Amino acid sequence: MHPVTCTEERHAGQILAIFNEAIANSTALYDYKPRTPESMVTWFATKRANNFPVIGLEDDSGKLLGFASYGTFRAFPAYKYTVEHSVYIEKDSRGQGLGRKLLEAIVAKAEEQGMHVLVGAIDLSNSASIELHKRLGFEHSGTIKQAAFKFGRWLDLAFLQKTLVTPLQPVDG
């Protein structure tokens, strides 16, 4: 397996399949309905416009095994050094250490881009993801209880954050 920069042309369909499997079968995404192929056009356009990375891991045949990205945490200017990240692994590739590789890669990219805080919003029942984040230096910074309703039950949303030393010269405005 090897890391790649995901592109719309090559990876949109594979990312969409990973998203839609997670929507249908897990609480990793708090969506109800599968996303459409058209939604990927907007998703990639937003990533490009904001210089947000989409890092993938492919097998030797070019199959996307998982990806990580980040985006806007909150849409106010003073949050410019804080991003919310996500990591998704294709269902048959889970439990092989790919999440760790992708999380490490997205943290490194955030440092390279001068970010200061990465925030992961993780369903509280997703203990594997929470433990992975903690092993990589993320700290639990709060839980919003009953933040969402899916699969006939209330879901608690945990926030984990990692504070980086970057940027070295933060500025207002």
CA pair distance 127, 124, nearest whole angstrom: 7
CA pair distance 161, 104, nearest whole angstrom: 14
Structure tokens at 131: 């433990």
- The closest alpha carbon to 58, from 91, 21, 14, belongs to 14
> Average of pLDDT values for 53-66?
97
> Average of pLDDT values for 28-54?
97
Question: Identity (one letter) of the amino acid at 68?
Answer: A
Q: Enumerate the domain spans of the chain.
A: 2-163
pLDDT digits (tens, 9 = 90+) for 126-146: 999 999 999 999 999 999 999
pLDDT, position 1: 83
pLDDT averaged over every residue in the chain: 97
State pTM to two decimals. 0.95
- List the strands of the sheet with 2-5, edge to edge: 2-5, 54-58, 64-72, 82-89, 117-123, 153-163, 139-150
CATH architecture label of 2-163: 3-Layer(aba) Sandwich (3.40)
pLDDT band at 103 (very low <50, low <70, confident <90, very high): very high
